[in-house]
Chain A
């Protein structure tokens, strides 16, 4: 039980275990680990609630299918697994604003929620455009040496230093 109640593990141990999980996913599900498509199918399912069956006719939803599949369950499982881990270690806490954000912008939830929503819109749009995210391209595609994923990685990871440097100088004041 000692290991499971620790707040954090070595990043190398975590990474190696995720690598082993990717072997099992290929062996058992015959699929690479990936997450972002299920956000698109959920978005389509929510839209279907309001606008009815015609939403299913959209070409993109025809392509990905509006149903609860293994990947949807994987994402649900991530929330449950993270909750179990955080509860076991006492690391669970309900927070509107992350600590680093609080230092830069204060503790008003509204500003953080607006910015998180805007960031989410870019991310949801970009993940569909590139057909993958940090899991599908960043881990699963990279480990298969897929050209599509290596190019996506290079660009989305290239963005960080620039984007983060701006973020730092503009918002956190070079801190």
Chain B
């Protein structure tokens, strides 16, 4: 009995410990990449500094190749988010406004705090809490209405096109690498 309880407790603890460990590595990398800084993020939005795009595209191409390989081997299951036109188009636009005005995103703002930026802690985080709270208050009115318009569920591009994963993964990875190569060639 007591033995069982301990195991259950350990199982509960371990995702928290792993989450913390992954977060520390993630935050370390974000800071070394410079994206814990407002100036670097605004530089991307103003198209004068392409650090953010380079990091995101390198992460996506690396992640995509590895995750789809592990999926082929049966090691992992994909977990694509469900979505709809009403959710992703409108939400993406509102988020984009917030991103341009705040100059941090939810992940990098946590890193900005670690880097010493007090506008992230005192301004930005409180704003994100308020925004999320407003959404939670409005959610009962939205969930069966605008958020369901143009629903496409948790489909992925390969499933949507009804093709083998690699018919999408390889061209997408190639395209991303070409974009990165082009950015370097253009001296950006």
What is the interface of chain A, defined by CB distance below 8 A to chain B? 6, 8-9, 11-12, 14-33, 35-36, 39-40, 42-44, 46-47, 58-61, 68-86, 89, 91-101, 109, 112-161, 163-165, 167-168
Instruction: Determine the distance from Cα of A150 to Cα of B152 in the docked complex, in whole angstroms.
Output: 12
CB pairs A–B below 8 angstroms (8 shown): A19-B63, A116-B101, A124-B131, A129-B147, A147-B80, A147-B155, A148-B81, A163-B100
Instruction: Please pick, from B29, B130, B131, the residue contacting A21 in the complex, using a CB distance under 8 A.
Output: B29
Instruction: Please pick, from A81, A94, A140, the residue contacting B28 in the complex, using a CB distance under 8 A.
Output: A81
Q: Which residues of A contact B118 (CB under 8 A)?
A: 94-96, 109
Instruction: Determine the distance from Cα of A168 to Cα of B79 in the docked complex, in whole angstroms.
Output: 38
Q: Which residues of A contact B85 (CB under 8 A)?
A: 151
Q: Report the nearest B residue to A160, measured CB to CB.
A: B45
- Other A-B pairs, 18, CB within 8 Å; known A39-B106, A78-B114, A146-B78: A11-B34, A29-B15, A35-B107, A36-B107, A73-B16, A74-B26, A75-B106, A77-B21, A78-B24, A84-B28, A112-B123, A120-B109, A126-B93, A129-B94, A130-B90, A134-B105, A135-B107, A148-B81
Instruction: Determine the distance from Cα of A131 to Cα of B29 in the docked complex, in whole angstroms.
Output: 24
Instruction: Determine the distance from Cα of A114 to Cα of B119 in the docked complex, in whole angstroms.
Output: 9
Query: What is the count of residue pairs linking A and B with beta-carbon distances less than 8 angstroms?
Result: 523
Q: Does A144 contact B156, Cβ atoms closer than 8 Å?
A: yes
Min CB gap A53→B, angstroms: 15
Instruction: Please classify the interface of chain B as helix (H, G, I), strand (E, B), loop, or mixed, using the class held by over half of its residues.
Output: helix
Q: Which residues of B contact A85 (CB under 8 A)?
A: 27-28, 31-32, 114
Instruction: Please classify the interface of chain A as helix (H, G, I), strand (E, B), loop, or mixed, using the class held by over half of its residues.
Output: helix
